[in-house]
Amino acid sequence: MSAPAAPSPLLLLDGIDEPGLRTLEVYERRGGYESLRRALAMTPEEVLAQLQASELRGRGGAGFGMGTKISFLPKGSMDKYLVCNADESEPGTFKDRELMQKTPHLLLEGIVIAAYAGGISCSFIYIRGEYVQQADVLDVALAEARSAGYLGDDILGSGHSLSLVVHRGAGAYICGEETGLLDSLEGKRGNPRLKPPFPANQGLYKGPTLINNVETLCTVPAIIRMGGEEYAKLGVERSTGTKVVSVSGHVCRPGNYEVELGIPSREIIYGLAGGPPDGRAVKCWFPGGSSSPVLTDADLDIPYDFDSLAKAGTMLGSGAIIVVDDSTPILDVAMKVARFYRHESCGKCTPCREGTNWTVKMLERIDAGEATPMDLEIMASVQEHIIGNCLCVLGDAMAMPIGSMIAKFRDEFEAHIEAARSRTEAA
């Protein structure tokens, strides 16, 4: 497949600011819940086939095939659960917030269809506690949908039933990790669990559990409307469809933009978000939230899709582009990132708990003029020892970007070490 031709359709953001869209009345007037009716007229297997044909990959960070995930759920009549991950805490990411706040029924419709495909009768939206206003919007929409018969027992006379609870978190990044989320939803500390067993086999309350991101589920109604194969024509091979990208940091027009996957990254950063202000240049950018290894201005022409970014040694992640311009020292960026992960490490696994702390201390040492260039080697090796050695990827999420910064900006780190040392010695 070749690079997509502009303009791409808007499947998620189209008319999202229409007044009253969050009410059932306006949502229905715009054709809302038609996809649900269509899905309920099919068998669950047919709905699943459409989702698989769409090749939709999860929009939360890992990029796992959504249809494949549903197909992993065991068949049978046991209690199965669907959990919508609305914990959106990856620094730089704010797409789910905009979707939930402005078009809550789209999410509810996606949840009901996905639950139907997976034979699921009990579902939850785990929304981060900070999103107070968005959770309130969801609660109102939920009540509306329930009284209209889109949720609850025997939905639209199909015989399919689904309960849904909006569960508010209380502020912990780790609860966006799917097993940490499950423990938190069970009323415990949000510590990640050992995998396997994967949630599809043993998740919430030890039952088979499907966990999907808000944007993934919001895409489901469009797939049913268009047909899976038609949806798969959008984007590029192995990165089908459109994606809401959150652009932030040093750009003129930060915000959410819906793009067809595979467009050049430059088009998003400069074309849509306006690039860095005042003639400043891009120094580095995170393509998928603060957990993704950084790229530089030399990488701006990389197509924005899962595989192209993976080939460049980084990841699409949650689709959050953070742009850093050349006025910012790389040490400041590294320090922010490392301090965040130190604060959010749950402390269960040693490499993450200690590694995030040591990294912050080493960065502080560099800034205080107490480091030598050898400390960079030590810091890089700490990162290598975190990756792959913990129950979840929180530690990796610091190690990968920090490692990439050391590799790509070594000269600047060394200059910083020297400058800070001579400053300290002079004083």
Partner 1 sequence: MTAVRRFEGGSRVPGWDEAVDLEKDPAEVPDPATTPVPEGLREEIESHMADYPDPRSATLPALEAAQRVHGWCSPEALEQVACVMGLTPADLESVASFYDMLETVPVGAHSVYVCTNISCSLRGADELYEQIRAAAAGDPDLNVRSFECLGACDIAPMASVDGVYVGPLTGADIPRMLGEIRGGEPVLVDKQLLRRAVADPRAGAEPPPETATEQGQG
Residues in 283-322 at the binding interface with partner 1, rule: CB under 8 A = 290, 320, 322
Q: To 5 degrees, how large is the angle CA 22–CA 34–CA 93?
A: 45
Closest approach, Cβ 84 to partner 1, in A, equals 15
Distance CA 119, CA 379 (A): 48
The interface region with partner 1, picked from 139-147, 210-218, 242-250, 298-306 by CB under 8 A, is 242-250
Rule CB under 8 A: choose which of 83, 151, 162, 185 binds partner 1: 185
At 194, which amino acid appears?
A: L
- What are the residues whose beta carbons fall under 8 Å from the beta carbon of 176, sequence distance 6 or more? 60, 85, 87, 88, 89, 90, 128
Is residue 101 near partner 1 by the rule CB under 8 A? yes
One-letter-per-residue 3-state SS of 368-419: CCCCCCHHHHHHHHHHHHHCCCCCCCHHHHHHHHHHHHHHHCHHHHHHHHHH
> With binding defined as CB under 8 A, does residue 370 bind partner 1?
no
The sign one gets for the Cα dihedral 187, 188, 191, 193 is negative
Sign of CA dihedral 320, 140, 241, 124: positive
The residue (of 9 and 197) whose beta carbon lies closer to partner 1 is 9
> What whole-number distance in Å separates Cα of residue 335 and Cα of residue 402?
9
Contact region with partner 1 (CB under 8 A), list: 61-69, 131-139, 149-157, 411-419? 131-139
Q: In the stretch 58-87, what mask flags binding to partner 1 with x, by CB under 8 A?
A: ---------------------x--------
Which of 60, 63, 199, 254 is the binder for partner 1 (CB under 8 A)? 254
Q: Which stretch binds partner 1 (CB under 8 A): 41-49, 149-157, 163-171, 409-417?
A: 163-171
Applying CB under 8 A, among 246, 265, 345, 356 the residue interacting with partner 1 is 246
Q: Between residues 20 and 373, which has the closer beta carbon with respect to partner 1?
A: 20
Q: Which stretch binds partner 1 (CB under 8 A): 141-149, 180-188, 388-396, 418-426?
A: 180-188
Verify binding: residue 257, partner 1, rule CB under 8 A: yes
Task: Pick the binder of partner 1 from 1, 3, 78, 132 (CB under 8 A).
Answer: 132
Shortest distance in whole angstroms from residue 367 CB to partner 1: 10
Segments in 103-208 forming alpha helices (H):
104-118, 132-147, 178-185
